[in-house]
A and B are shown apart, each in its own frame.
Chain A
Amino acid sequence: MIWFTLLLVVLVLAALWASMTTTLLRATLGLALASALLSVVMFSMGATLAAAMELSVCAGLISVVLVSVASLTRPRSIQEEIASRRSRLRRIWPLPLVLIAGGVALSFVHAPVDIVLRLPAGDGDVRTVLWSMRQLDLFGQILILLAGALGVLVLFRKEAKDDD
C-alpha cells in the first residue's frame, strides 16, 4: 500500500514538474513521464488494456505531437525568455504549496462514502465488454478519428498552403 501511494506521489510530482519547468521540451518530457507513471498505476490496478493504451498513445503519440508543435514554432528570444520567466515564476510558485496543503488537508478526511453497489472484483473481461457491450463507443471512436483526420487535413494543410 505504501508503494502504491508513493507511486501516486511520484506521478503528481512528474505532473508538477511538467507544469513548472521552464522550457517546453522539458515540460513535454515531464508529461510523458507522468503518462508512463499513470500507465504503471493502471497496470498495478489490473487495467492492463487501458495501461497499454495510455503508454502507447499518451506517452508516445501525444508526446510526438507536442514535440513537433514545439519544433514547428519559433523559439523565443533570450530577452523574451528572461522576461517571461520572471512573470511566470510569479504566477506559478504557489502551485506546489497549494498541492502540498491540499494533499495534507485531504489526507485528514475519512468521512464514510457510500459506494453503493460494491461488487466482487471482476465483472467480465474488458475485451468482452468493449466488443459486445460498448460497440457504440467503438463507432464513436472511429467517427472521432475521422473527424480528427479531417481536422488534420484542414488545419495542417492550410499551413502548407500558406507556406507556398
Chain B
Amino acid sequence: MTIEMPQSFWLYFTFFVLLLVDGLWCMLATRNLVRILIGLEILMKSVTFFLIAAGYLSGRMALAQALVVTVIVIEVVVVVVVAGIILGFHRKHDSLDVGNTKRMKG
C-alpha cells in the first residue's frame, strides 16, 4: 500500500501540538507517579514525531533520523532513571502519590 503524503506544515504541526497537550495534561493532571512517566513518554512521542516531520518537510530525512535515533536512546535512559526514582519513592513512602514530591517549599 502506498500512502500519499501530505506536504502541509500545519497538518504535522497540528498533530504535534495535540500529542504535546495530551502528554502535558497527562503529566500534570494525575496524582500517580507512574502515570506521570507515561505522560512524559507521550511528550517524547510528540517531539520525535515533530523532528521526523521537520526532516521530511525540509528534505533532511537522514539527518532527522540520525537525531531521532539518539533521542530515543536518551529517552530510554531518562525513563529508566525516572522509574528508579519512582521506585525509590514507593520504597520510602509505600505510595505512588505525588504528594510526596511537594514537601520542599519557599
Are the chains A and B members of one assembly?
yes
Q: What residues of chain A have their CB less than 8 Å away from a CB belonging to chain B?
A: 1, 3-5, 7-8, 11-12, 15-16, 18-19, 24, 27-28, 31, 34-35, 38, 41-42, 44-47, 49-50, 53-54, 57-58, 61-62, 65-66, 69-70, 72-74, 84, 87-88, 91-92, 95, 98-99, 102-103, 106-107, 109-111, 113, 115, 117-126, 128-130, 133-134, 137-138, 140-141, 144-145, 147-148, 151-152, 154-156, 158-159, 162
- Tell me the complex Cα distance, A98–B14, Å: 13
Query: Are B34 and A69 in contact, with the CB atoms below 8 A?
Result: yes
Q: What residues of chain B have their CB less than 8 Å away from a CB belonging to chain A?
A: 1, 3-6, 8-11, 13-15, 17-19, 21-23, 25-26, 29-32, 34-35, 37-39, 41-42, 45, 48-49, 52-53, 55-70, 72-77, 79-81, 83-88, 90-91, 94-96
Query: SS class of chain B's interface: helix, strand, loop or mixed?
Result: helix
Chain A-chain B contacts (Cβ-Cβ < 8 Å), number: 247
B17 neighbours in A (Cβ, 8 Å): 102, 106
20 A-B pairs, CB-CB below 8 angstroms? A12-B19, A27-B38, A31-B38, A31-B42, A44-B3, A45-B56, A50-B68, A69-B34, A69-B37, A91-B29, A102-B21, A115-B57, A120-B59, A123-B61, A123-B62, A126-B61, A126-B62, A129-B63, A144-B74, A155-B85
